[in-house]
Amino acid sequence: MEKIAVASDHGGFELKEIIIGYLFSKDVEVIDCGTDSPVSVDYPLFGKKCAEMVASGKADRGIVVCGSGIGISIAANKVKGIRCALCTSVEMAKLSRQHNNANMLALGGRLTETTLALEILEAWLNTEFEGGRHKNRTDMLDEM
């Protein structure tokens, strides 16, 4: 069973809770890294916590949500070994997996309609890394 760590700040809390329910319905083991309410918190703390779960191998992949998805994706990408992609379309989600082997997905809770967010999530979960010429590039990213 795949383990996915999920985290948000207050701006992404509502979407995070929806994502967790969706993942449970797909028989995915979820590690909830917080936050646990819509009360204002600092997104870097939650992006880092989720990314560290992925980087350490405690989770296979991670999903982070803040108001726009921008700040929390930047925080996650500060952790070595993380390739967190902020996706605003299904095509971006597919490409983030096919070409970049993104091990984390970021979404904007205030900017992404729930239906679209779940379509993006589904595409990201079900798209495989193509490898080949892309492997050299992801190796370069991992060395940075």
Nearest CA among 8, 73, 65 for reference residue 35? 8
Instruction: Name residue 72's beta-bridge partners.
Output: none
- For 7, the enclosing helix (H) or strand (E) is strand 3-8
> Token digits for 46?
């939650």
Indicate which residue of 66, 84, 87, 134 is catalytic.
66
Whole-angstrom distance, CA of residue 61 vs CA of residue 67? 21
Annotated catalytic residue 99: yes
- Residue 100, φ and ψ in degrees, nearest 5: -110, -5
Whole-angstrom distance, CA of residue 95 vs CA of residue 50? 22
Residue type, 144: M
Q: Given the structure tokens 């350490």, which residue do they identify?
A: 56
Residues annotated as catalytic are 66, 99
